[in-house]
Chains A and B, each alone.
Chain A
Amino acid sequence: MHALIQRIWHGFVVIALVATATFVLVRLAPGDPFAAALENARLTPALREQWRAAYGLDGSIGTQFAHWIASLARGDLGFSTSTNQPVSRAIAAALPNTLLLIGTSIVIAFMLGIWLGAVQAAGRGGIVDRCIGAITLIGNAVPDFWLALVMLLAGSYWLRLFPVGGVADLLLPLGASWPVLLLDRARHLVLPVLTMVILLVAPIARLQRTALLDRLGAEWVRTATAKGVARRTVFRRHAWRTALGPVVTMGGIALPSLFGGAVFIERVFAWPGMGRLAAEAVAARDYHLVVGCVLVGTVMVVIGSMLADHVSAWLDPRLTQDGFEPGRGLA
């Protein structure tokens, strides 16, 4: 219990530090929310000052920070100048879309990656191993943005199988039945998820393969064989089961980049998620929205890491919540 409280406290400290750093950094970037408008806007500096004052963006960074903390305590994340709504509303609209995209992609990518890695390790050196290995090599090397564009064009333009981006067809008649709506949602989900999965599967499969090959040479595998356990069961219970740990740990470490990397995918597929929201907010110098997005993103990363740690500990009891406990000597 004590350990849990400590974890939560650490998470809180991390979130506070990141939010504060973002708060300062975004205001240091040149420009302000009202400069990114029309380049030749007839917005004189006097007018711009007035607008800044109206949104609480005048005053020193210290005063602004104090105001922000005060409103945060009330549960108010501020007003977004680029989307003209409270920051919390903008995030509440975008967050489910990101969770849908990333959640689906993570689940599929991990299942697929672990399975591929296991298949590779089981048939090590064979033709299957090499084929899968070539594919994962490509998956590792391909740049996200390019892959997203290619997938979009291939799926929606060359093959005309899927819609061109977006999260749903908003022009569907309002009375459409729920199977139609569900199918529409699913069709929109395919290309972005496929893109993310390809990018995620490669490192997962490679890591799983390496970890598994390493475990196959472990002593306890030989013990299991010596006990008369069938080969398949030895592979599954003794090699593969102990090789999952590194993969999950890697997943936990890669969480932040997952949220960040989705920015490109969300942009290309016009997916109204957190990545796009944050990126466009930065470009528009929408300070409150940027900090709000970072705050929410950090919270999710912290929670995700804690989850990953729990799963890791369950997979490998040597990594308990209280920290690593080495075997107690030879006594």
Chain B
Amino acid sequence: MTATHTPPTDALLSLRDVRVTFRTADGVITPVDGVSFDIARGETLALVGESGCGKSLTALTILRLIDAPGRIEAGSRILFEGRDVLTLPDKELRSIRGRQAAMIFQEPMTALNPVYSAGEQIAEVVRTHTKASRSEAWTRAVAMLGAVGISSPDIRAKQFPHQLSGGMRQRVMIAMALVLGPSLLIADEPTTALVVTIQAQLLDLLREAQQARGASMLLITHDLGVVAESAQRVAVMYAGQIVEEAPVTALFAAPQHPYTEGLMAAMPRAGSRRERLTTIPGTVPPPGAWPLACRFADRCAYAWSRCTIEAPPLHQLGHGRTSRCHLVEEPARRVAAQATAGAAS
């Protein structure tokens, strides 16, 4: 049984059938192919997937940050606070960016302008959206730097990105995103470039800040550990599509989609006595070379003939769970395959 989501009226952000195409020398590719999800107020949704699955692009569509040669196809709808972002006039779009919805990028060394100081870049957000004077904006910037846990913020504010450590730079980015109190945070792999210990600190920081303001967060990551820490709900992406969506605990307890299963199995666990990490055989197909029908079929342990003929729709499983897999309709095959695998090990 398939049904398209209907937008709950109180969702902060709704994506419906978002499609992004790129014109390349070899033709048109569709790295984001019909993505839909909702984020409720105050909720954190983690968007998980390997690199190349289209999750970063999906994040960029929300604030219309896709540049030529890419474009968001007609038929996509992105509703923020009930308004369709894709049809907003420029001025209103700009007032959303940075103020009501803010992005945190992955690589702060390149995402921050090297010739302006940290304080100036935070102050820039303030002065863009409010009538604050230079000194007022500066004061707010310094205060924000303190709020994100940077010591001696008045000194740090005058420093340039290259004079700060990676962790501090990311705090600056977070400060920049939070300073005007947005209702939506879009964090694209915010801790990937950082050491594990700093990672934890920053995630805590994000969570606290978000909860203090009652903000929602779209957290893009490839690290399931991060998901477990920070998110309430998870959406798994593969090859431009959402293949599974579920509340966090439910997902970890019982993943439905074979891809999610594979991801779980591949996670290194402390205390595990296996010598080798399990991997999913095969590689992620590039956007121009997606298989017809089920895109995961050639790597799936459960695949059978139907999978290469008929593309599975996104099945609703109740309790907020979905899965894009034929196994939903033929659960018997799952049991049989697991039995075989169990017998082999």
**Which A residues are closer than 8 A to B by beta carbons?**
218-220, 222-230, 233, 237-238, 241-242, 315-318, 325-331
Interface set of B (CB-CB < 8 Å, partner A): 63, 65, 94-99, 102-103, 105, 107, 109-116, 124-125, 128-129, 160-167, 169, 173, 176, 193-195, 198
Contact indicator B115/A223 (Cβ below 8 Å) = no
Q: Please name the 8 residue pairs, one residue from A and one from B, whose CB atoms are nearest each other, closest first.
A: A228-B97, A228-B98, A227-B98, A219-B110, A330-B166, A220-B113, A226-B103, A228-B94
Distance A286 CA – B332 CA, assembled complex (angstroms): 102
Cα distance, A229 to B123, chains bound together (Å): 12
The CA of A238 and the CA of B193, in the complex, are separated in Å by 23
Task: State A327–B114 Cα separation when bound (angstroms).
Answer: 11
Other-chain residue from B95, B98, B193, B194 in contact with A226 (beta carbon distance below 8 A): B98
B166 surroundings in chain A (CB, below 8 A): 327, 329-331
Query: Which single member of A230, A238, A329 contacts B94 (CB below 8 Å)?
Result: A230
On whether the beta carbons of A318 and B110 are closer than 8 Å, the reply is no
Residue of chain B at shortest CB distance from A220? B113
Select one of B115, B129, B164, B194 contacting A327, CB under 8 A.
B164
CA distance in complex: A228, B12 (Å): 19
Q: How far is the CA of A317 from the CA of B158 in the complex (A)?
A: 12
Residues of B within 8 A of A317 (CB): 114-115, 160, 162
Chain A residue nearest to B197 in the complex (CB): A331
Given A220-B113, A330-B166, A228 and B128 contact (CB-CB distance below 8 Å):
yes
Given A226-B97, A327-B109, A329-B165, is A315 in contact with B115 using a C-beta cutoff of 8 Å?
A: yes
B105 and A223: CB pair below 8 A?
yes
Q: How many A-B residue pairs have CB under 8 A?
A: 99
Question: Looking across the interface, which residue of chain B has its beta carbon closest to that of A223?
Answer: B111
Q: Contact partner of B110 among A220, A227, A315, CB < 8 A? A: A220
Can you report 21 A-B residue pairs in the complex whose CB atoms are below 8 A from each other?
A: A223-B103, A223-B105, A225-B97, A226-B98, A227-B124, A228-B96, A228-B97, A237-B116, A241-B115, A242-B114, A316-B114, A317-B115, A318-B162, A325-B163, A327-B161, A327-B163, A327-B164, A327-B165, A329-B166, A330-B166, A330-B195
CA A225 – CA B102 in complex, angstroms?
11
| In contact, A316 and B103 (Cβ under 8 angstroms) | no
B105→A242 contact, CB < 8 A: no
Contacting pair A219 B114 (CB below 8 A): no
* Interchain nearest-CB distance for B230 vs A (Å): 21
A222 to chain B, nearest CB (A): 6
Q: How distant is the Cα of A229 from the Cα of B90 in the complex, in angstroms? A: 11
CB distance from A244 to the nearest CB of B (A): 9
Q: A327-B164, A328-B165 are in contact. Are A226 and B113 (CB under 8 A)?
A: no
Q: How far is the CA of A226 from the CA of B161 in the complex (A)?
A: 18
Say yes or no: A227-B128 contact (C-beta < 8 A), given A220-B113, A316-B114, A327-B161: yes
A220 to chain B minimum Cβ distance, whole angstroms, is 4
A104 to chain B, nearest CB (A): 29
Task: Decide if B167 touches A331 in the complex (CB within 8 Å).
Answer: yes
Residue in contact with B112 in the complex, picked from A223, A233, A241, A326, CB distance below 8 Å: A223
Across-interface contacts of B109 in A (CB, < 8 A): 327
Q: Are B128 and A220 in contact (CB under 8 A)?
A: no
B129 near A228: Cβ-Cβ < 8 Å: yes
Picked from B113, B160, B169, the residue with its CB within 8 Å of the CB of A224 is B113
A318 to B167 Cα, complex, angstroms = 19
* B114 and A331 contact, CB distance less than 8 A: no
List A contacts of B164 (CB < 8 A): 327-328
> Which A residues are CB-close (under 8 A) to B111?
219-220, 222-223
